[in-house]
């Protein structure tokens, strides 16, 4: 076995919450009278909540205090969390679940490395609440990807050296974070187009041939 552990980004890899993020940011942008579309939304992928707000505020005429920014970021998250309640195990694809089960059956440790502070809630909604051996998320890190902190901490939680961990990501910043943390990476979706990962995957099940 080449790797002892696989660390997964959550959004865009295990499941897809993009549409809920978009709807929540759009609601906030509309309230502030700021233009917001899918192109701007794509810049927010893998970026922390406060950094995302700053990107949206690039088109804002006024100025906001740090206190106001925090309040608006919290408001966006409240809208987002309300939308996430619509998620269910139906949002977990059979291919993803089957692949995870097969990896686990081989004795591979599985972890989440996500900048989201809602990772545990989302996992619970899709039926994977207690499934992973470790969860490193926005609640235990101070630096967002491409900083490797979220993956480094996931490896520490698992007790497995970085060199024995494989990171699965769909964002360029996530692949950069894995590399910076001394880990091999497997890219899906958008990230696979950059060809900077150790492996590029066409489907989630490709993992079974890599690990």
Query: What is the set of active-site residues?
Result: 9, 11
Is there a contact between 21 and 45 (Cβ–Cβ < 8 Å)?
no
- Whole-angstrom distance, CA of residue 132 vs CA of residue 106: 14
Cα separation, 125 vs 195, in Å, equals: 33
* Contact predicate 114/138, CB 8 Å: yes
User: What stretches of the chain show up as alpha helix (H) in DSSP?
Assistant: 18-32, 38-42, 49-56, 66-84, 94-105, 119-125, 149-158, 172-180, 189-192, 207-210
Pick the closest to residue 121 from 180, 179, 77 (CA basis).
Answer: 77
CB distance 22 to 187 below 8 Å: no
């Amino acid at each position: 076995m080449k790797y002892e552990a696989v660390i997964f980004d959550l959004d865009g890899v295990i499941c897809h919450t993009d549409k809920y993020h978009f709807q929540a940011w759009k609601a906030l942008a509309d309230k502030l009278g700021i233009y917001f579309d899918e192109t701007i939304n794509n810049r927010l992928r893998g970026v922390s909540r406060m950094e995302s707000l700053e990107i949206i505020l690039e088109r804002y005429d006024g100025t906001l205090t740090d206190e106001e920014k925090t309040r608006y970021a919290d408001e966006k998250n409240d809208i987002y969390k309300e939308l996430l309640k619509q998620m269910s195990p139906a949002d977990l694809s059979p291919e993803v679940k089957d692949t995870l089960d097969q990896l686990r059956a081989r004795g591979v440790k599985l972890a989440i490395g996500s900048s989201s502070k809602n990772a545990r809630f989302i996992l619970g909604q899709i039926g994977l609440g207690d499934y992973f051996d470790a969860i490193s998320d926005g609640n235990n890190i101070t630096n967002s990807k491409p900083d490797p902190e979220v993956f480094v901490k996931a490896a520490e939680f698992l007790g497995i050296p970085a060199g024995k961990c494989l990171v699965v990501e769909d964002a360029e910043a996530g692949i950069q974070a894995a590399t910076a943390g001394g880990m091999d990476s497997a890219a899906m979706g958008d990230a696979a187009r950059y060809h900077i990962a150790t492996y590029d995957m066409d489907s989630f099940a490709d993992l079974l041939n890599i690990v």
